[in-house]
Structure formats: structure tokens, C-alpha cells
Amino acid sequence: LKPTAMMLPLIFWLLPMIRADFDSYHLHTFLNNSVAPCANFYRHVCSVSMTANDTVARKSELYYEDLAKELQSRTRNNPVMNDIAEARADLNCIFDADVYSTILNERCKSDFDCYFEEYLYFFKLYNKTHENVDDSLKFYSTHGNKTNNRNINQSKKATSRMVELLYKNSDHNITKAFNESVSYYQLMNDRLFVMELLNKNATANYVGLEKINNLAKQMQEVIKRRLQETSWMKPINEFGFSILGQYLTILDELIFFTDFDCFDRNLTTMRQMNHDFTSRYFENNKRTTGCTWFDVVHSANTTDIQLEKKYSASYQEEVDYGRVGMTFMYNAFNYMDASMIAVSGPTFYPINENTTDAGNLAFAYILGHEIYHSFVTEALQNRSEEYKNEADCLAEHYNQTCQVFAESECNSGSKTFSEDGPDLEGVRAAYELLKQKYTSDQLMDYEYPDLKITRDQSYFYAVALRWCRDIANSEYREHSPENIRINGMFSQMPEFSRAFECKPDDPLYSEPDQVCYLFGPNSKGKHANVTKEDIKGSSAVIETFDQGA
């Protein structure tokens, strides 16, 4: 047998048998009881002694990454991957105009059209990546092949200078530019191999897609009711429309996609995309400038651009092409223009395989977050004064939370509102599902008797532990840091205060009339005045955190 044929049985033997309850292991191993839940819930759940690989989200991601590593030997016969490996070893190569000129002369000889084609290829790249492109370059791109202008030396000189400037444009971080350019194909290759393996192992049969679809429907129903209970959404404008009618239509049209769905089970499209990339990559890689890494970068970028255009006949095709190159990460996406929500595998498998109802509802919160992205918009602030007031209230709350709990640079507030809003409303909606399923007495039953954690408390733990991250070494733009996300959400939930018996002077304590509601019966536009003093006990929070795990 060939080595690749012998490998699959071995990998099936190595395939992780996921049976552990990620949540239970985390709670029994990493809870930091030196920090009180009502003082700083994030640091109570996410101990400073944890490493990145200890987090449940990272463990779920590693399941897929480990499979991809086991399959890496299958890439040895992949010509594109071989090109990438060769180029990676060539990252120290520096552009030499004389070397490039010699290579170009050998390839084109006295054929002006060959030289001009080279010019047009690099002009497109240069024009795409540079501002204020010289008019002479633009003019030559349309007139250089005219009878009176077919000058080989002129074409070579202009092309060589553009290539040199393209190199310099990559000089500031060659490794980053290279990795970004080749990542799509590498991820596509990994996904194809992993899904082929998991399909053969029938993993898709037990990842819980039916449960996910049911949770999505339940969350849509909860959110539908909360929208219907929002009084300011009901008025009808002069044209006969209401915000409520518009939002209910958006909600009804939402479609959910997940890893392991029909797209991943029927690998025909994914294989075709992989084949298309490979063939076009080598069509675009006929040129060489003397540095392999540079040639691979621009061949991969050009191929990606071509395929994005090819797979754009419908938004579904665009989403599918994007999914093929999507890394296996703990994340979900709302493609609002297409009314589609896509959920990545690590977000639900294996992280939720043996979890409690609370763990499943922590996943429902992620669905709720993505659904609310369709509604928490800047445009809505211009249509409703009540919503704008509540949005201002919430932005100020996160800004104050940032001042109290920040462990690194933190810009939460208006800049992160588009993520903080869906966070809070999503976690509230998922909690509604918990209350629908259990009575008040059942919520007080112990989920983890040895830890004296109730079913009610278990929900908040399940949400929080999924956001344990290495905050100090992360970058944040539109998102709040994870500790602000958790403490900011739960200090806006009186249900949290009740579950953990928080006291009025605790930092995370809240009452219904003290919090902000974007939607639902309590969304009145009252804009509670949040001040730093409202998030109490800040000095105690910092002092407790400094004690460590």
C-alpha cells in the first residue's frame, strides 16, 4: 500500500474520542474562589493561572487543529503547499532589479507582448495597493501596446520599478504579508482534509445539528416576543410601516448555517473550489521576480481575487467560498445582507457534546448575539429616541465598567456598542429559555452538588467560562475585552444578582430599575444615569484580583 493509503486507519485510531464535559472540568479545576462572584465574575471564573490552551474555547479549536496536523503528511504531494513551504524558507530574499531583468529577458526574449503582459499584471497589483498612482503608469497601461510605443526597454523599466515598490510595500512585515496571502488556501486544504476524515468517521451524525437548529428556532421565538413587547417599535409611520414589522420580517428570514451541515457533508463544491484554486494559482505563477515568497504572495492574492469574482453569482456562493477558507475557531458570523448566520464548529462541537442544559444555553446566547446583530444598528438610533437613550445608557455603562475592571487598554463604550448590545440582549434571551424550561425551585437545585453551584448559577458560569482568554496579549477594536464583556453583561442582569445573592454594595449588583434595556417591555428610553460610583467597590475588585488564583 502507498503511505497515504496506510495513514487513514492510523488516524482513525488517533482520532480523539471526545467524552469529557469541558464545563465540569473547568469548574472543578480553574475556579478562583479568592475572587467573589459578585466582585469580579470574570476573574472568579477565569483564573490568572490558566494558560490559553486551558480555556474551553481553545480546547474545542485544538480538536480540529490537531486533526489537521495529523493530516499534514497528505500535503507532501500537494504542489501548492510545496510552493508555500519553499517560499516560507525564502522570506529573507531581497529584490534585485538585475536578477529580475535577466529572468524576464530569458522568458520573453524579443516578444514585446510578453513584456507588456508582465507590465499589466504588476500594474493591476500596484494600482490596487497604492494611493495616488502616477498618471504616466495609468496612461501606459492603455497606450503602451500601440504601434508607436512598443518599446521593450521602457516596459521593462516601468515594470521593474513597480515590482521594486511592491517589495518595499511588503518590507515592514514580510512574514505577516506572506501568512495572510497563503492562509486562505492552507485553511481550505485543512478544512477539506478534516471534513473528509470526520465524514468517514461519521462525526457529523453526533455533533448535535438537530439540537442546534431547535435552539435557533427557540431563540427566534424568544426574540420575536421581546420585539413585540417593545412599545416604541409599534408606531406606524406616514407610509404605513413600523419598525416592528420590519424587524419581524428580518427575524423570520434568517437562515442558519453550521459546520457539518450539507455543505460540509457533500464535499463536491469544496473539492471543486480547491481544484479551481490550484489550477488558477499555477496559471498566475508563470512569472518570477527572483524571490519565491514574493511570487507566491501575488499568485495567491490574484487567484483569490479571481475566485471571489467567480463565486459571486449569488450571496450563497459568496458565503460558501468564504466558509471554505474559514479557520476552525470559536466564532459565529451574521451576513446581514443575505440574512444568514454561520456558526463555526468549535463553537458547538466538541465543546457542547457532554455539557449540561446550561452549556447548551451558553451556545444559545451566541446565537442570540448573532441574531441581535440584525437589530442593533446605528440607523435605528436615528429612528427612535427611546432606543437612542437606551443605547447611550448602555454605552456609558460599558465605559464605566471599563474604568473599573480594565486589565489592559480598554475603549469600551460607544466604540464597542455594536458588539456589547447584542451581547447583553443575547444573554438575556438565552436566560429566558432557561426560565421556560425550569421552575423557580428547579433553578435552585444543584447542578454541581460538590461545588454547591445551582442550575441558575450554572448558566452564568457556562457563559463566562467560554470567554476566558489571554487578555493581555489580545487586540480589541469593535469588541470589548472579555473581562469587560462578562462583567458588563452580568452587572446589567438583576437575575445574576439574585442567583449569587449579591449585596447592594457589590460591584456587579443591579436592580431592574438601574439597568439599560435595548428591547423588551422595560425598554422605555429612560436612560439610567450610570456613574462610576454605580459600579461599586472598584478598589476591592482590583485588590482581590491582585491576589491571583
Q: Cα-flanking dihedrals φ and ψ of residue 537, to 5°?
A: 70, 30
77 versus 63: the higher-pLDDT residue is 63
Distance CA 467, CA 473 (A): 15
Distance CA 293, CA 88 (A): 6
Name which of 302, 336, 298, 300 is nearest 319 in CA terms: 336
pLDDT per position as a tens digit, 518-539: 999 999 987 555 554 555 544 4
Averaged pLDDT, 386-400 = 96
Which pLDDT value is given to residue 546?
35
| pLDDT tops 50 at residue 243 | yes
| pLDDT tops 70 at residue 320 | yes
175 versus 98: the higher-pLDDT residue is 98
pLDDT per position as a tens digit, 8-60: 333 333 344 444 689 999 999 999 999 999 999 999 999 988 999 999 999 99
Which pLDDT value is given to residue 172?
62
Name which of 511, 373, 401 is nearest 42 in CA terms: 401
**Cis peptide preceding 494, ω within 30 of 0:** no
pLDDT per position as a tens digit, 100-136: 999 999 999 999 999 999 999 889 888 877 888 999 9
Residue 544 banded pLDDT, cuts 50, 70, 90: very low
- Lowest-confidence range among 153-162, 298-307, 421-430? 298-307
DSSP string of 293-320, one letter each residue: HHHHHHHHHHHHHHHHHHTTSSHHHHHH
Contact 367, 219 (CB under 8 A): yes
Which residue matches cell numbers 515594470? 159
pTM for the model:
0.81
Percent of the chain with pLDDT over 90: 60
pLDDT per position as a tens digit, 471-510: 888 888 889 999 999 999 999 999 999 999 999 999 999 9
- Lowest-confidence range among 10-14, 69-73, 151-155, 487-491? 10-14
